[in-house]
Amino acid sequence: MTLLLRLCELLSSWKRCFSDHRTFRRAKEHALALLVCLGRRTISRSICVLGRQFRNWTPEYNLFSRCRWKPHSLFDAILERIPELLSPHQPLVVALDDTPCRKTGKHIRAAKMLRDPLSPPYHLNLCYALRFLQAVM
């Protein structure tokens, strides 16, 4: 089985997260487009990869801004498939990464003062940032 077929099979489990088949198709297309786009992974770059840069972008942005689906449910569909990939005696290994995303505006609720990862070990520097925690299995 090729990697693309395996990824499409994995993304097909997202179907139950969407009430409309067109929304599911659009989300699946954007997920695949974001994998191959160059530079920053933005919605506009994804639209260009899909070849829709000369069409109306409203439906594409509505997928992300007016969603009637829960983004967290996309991860539930993937997490349910983990037991079939592991043998019963194999441990589950998870790598965690804590990444600060610097912010300058004071009206961002979740932003706070964090330790600057670029500061030298002998001097503590702080930066105003959002904290993103990523887990990889």
- In this structure, are 99 and 81 located in the same domain? no
- In this structure, are 57 and 100 located in the same domain? no
Residue 38's pLDDT band, with cuts at 50, 70 and 90, is: confident
Exposure letters 109-121 (e unless 16+ CB within 10 A, then b)? eebeebebeeeee
With respect to residue 48, please indicate whether it lies within any of the assigned structural domains.
yes
With respect to residue 70, please indicate whether it lies within any of the assigned structural domains.
yes
- In this structure, are 62 and 17 located in the same domain? yes
Residue 1's pLDDT band, with cuts at 50, 70 and 90, is: low
- In this structure, are 80 and 124 located in the same domain? no
- In this structure, are 120 and 81 located in the same domain? no
CA distance linking residue 83 with residue 113, whole number of Å:
38
Average pLDDT value for the chain: 87
With respect to residue 90, please indicate whether it lies within any of the assigned structural domains.
no
Question: Sheet containing 95-102: which strands, arranged edge to edge?
Answer: 95-102, 126-136, 112-115
Q: Who contacts 134 (Cβ-Cβ below 8 Å, separation ≥6)?
A: 96, 97, 99
When divided into structural domains, the chain yields a total of 2
- What pLDDT score was predicted for residue 83? 80
Asked if residue 67 has pLDDT above 70, the reply is yes
- In this structure, are 99 and 80 located in the same domain? no
Query: What residues pair up with 134 in beta bridges, in sequence order?
Result: 97
Asked if residue 128 has pLDDT above 80, the reply is yes
- In this structure, are 60 and 102 located in the same domain? no
The whole model's pTM is what?
0.68
- In this structure, are 53 and 116 located in the same domain? no
Which residue range is the domain that position 33 belongs to?
3-85
